[in-house]
Amino acid sequence: MPATSPAHSQNTAAETTNLITVSRTSPREATSLCEELECGNILYFSEPPFLIPAEDREALLGQKQSSAAFHKNVAYRPAEDRVTGLDESDAAGAERLHAILRGYSQSAMKFLGELLTPYAGKWKLDYASFRPIEERGRVARLHARNDLPHVDAFPTRPTNGDRILRLFTNINPTQSRVWMTAPPFAAIAPYFAKSVGLPAAQWQGALSASLRKLARAVNWPGARRSPYDQFMHACHNAMKEDTAFQQSAAMQRWEFPPNATWMVLTDCVSHAVLEGQYALEQTFIISRAAMVRPELAPVAILERLAGHPLTGA
Ligand code: SIN
Ligand code: FE
């Protein structure tokens, strides 16, 4: 058992995640939707709130990845308009998939800008993905496993305190996508701050100014990675390694049926996917400055615990 069970840590942070259903018949203020996300809740739509053409869905469901490509999700990088993780032997199929992912990415961005106006334009459009692999029983190395609860942190795309917002659509016509969530980051942060260790105040001084300049010049990702990013990545790994946490934390199970679309700040919602095949996803990196409850951001929580800044200005 962990020394301090995260489910019983001494703070008053929310211990659970709520599902907030959003529909045309029950519109909500944009600010209150952002607040729900920032509190660690899931915004849920029973139907995709933007068009995903039927022929696109059919093409995606018919995708046959070669065995070499099969273990990977397909990623779309909007900034470069490029797709990775594809079966290269099927040029026509690859082109079609590229066009579908570009369309999903653009529709998702337009939709988000209209729904979450406090965030509009204050984001970086990150990767989109197509997830054609059955998640139940999927084999992956420990830190790549998505069936163990974790908060997201991208080692090669540090956020420097900005937020990771993901929008998912289950395009499987018959099968739900099943998630599990553990208590949100605010509730588990004290426990993982202890087990991972918070970066010291002088962390950035460890690398001399000239070395940092050189590291940036050669585009070494570590040069852009703040103490916050280091911690979040270590925390992501620690959560997947910590069987005592997995056994003792209060888990919630969620079923996202065919057509469901949902949005989550995955840097604060501890999530895992247990079952499901065929999902589309778009990631946004939202500026920390756009938060309506900035004190709830993981970086703010960690800076309070550490007592000093964790990002380089
Ligand atoms: C994850 O972000 O850990 C996976 C979520 C999913 O594919 O449903
Ligand atoms: Fe994740």
The response to whether residue 146 sits with its C-beta less than 6 Å from ligand 1 reads yes
- Domain ranges across the chain: 19-306
Mutation test residue for ligand 1: of 265, 271, 284, the one with most atoms within 8 Å of CB: 271
| Mean pLDDT (the chain, rounded) | 89
The response to whether residue 131 sits with its C-beta less than 6 Å from ligand 1 reads yes
The response to whether residue 177 sits with its C-beta less than 6 Å from ligand 1 reads yes
Stretch among 57-61, 69-73, 249-253, 282-286 having the lowest mean pLDDT = 69-73
The response to whether residue 277 sits with its C-beta less than 6 Å from ligand 1 reads no
For the entire predicted model, the pTM comes to 0.91
pLDDT tens-digit readout, 171-222? 999 999 999 999 999 999 999 999 999 988 765 545 555 666 676 676 665 6
Mutation test residue for ligand 1: of 281, 282, 283, 284, the one with most atoms within 8 Å of CB: 281
* pLDDT at residue 14 in the model: 85
pLDDT tens-digit readout, 74-129? 999 999 999 998 877 778 888 999 999 999 999 999 999 999 999 999 999 999 99
* HEC assignment per residue over the chain: CCCCCHHHCCCCCCCCCCEEECECCECCCHHHHHHHHHCCCEEEECCCCCCCCHHHHHHHHCCCCCHHHHCCCEEEECCCCEEECCCCCCHHHHHHHHHHHHHHHHHHHHHHHHHCCCCCCCEEEEEEEEECCCCCCCCCCHHHCCCCCECCCCCCCCCCCCEEEEEEEECCCCCCEEEEEECCHHHHHHHHHHHHCCCCCCHHHHCCHHHHHHHHHCCCHHHHCCHHHHHHHHHHHHHHHCHHHHHHCCCEEEEECCCCEEEEECCCCEEEEEECCCEEEEEEEECHHHCCCHHHCHHHHHHHHHCCCCCCC
The response to whether residue 225 sits with its C-beta less than 6 Å from ligand 1 reads no
Looking at the CA of 166, name the nearest ligand: 1
**Using CA positions, which residue lies closest to atom 1 of ligand 1?**
146
The response to whether residue 240 sits with its C-beta less than 6 Å from ligand 1 reads no
* CATH class of the 19-306 domain in this structure: mainly beta
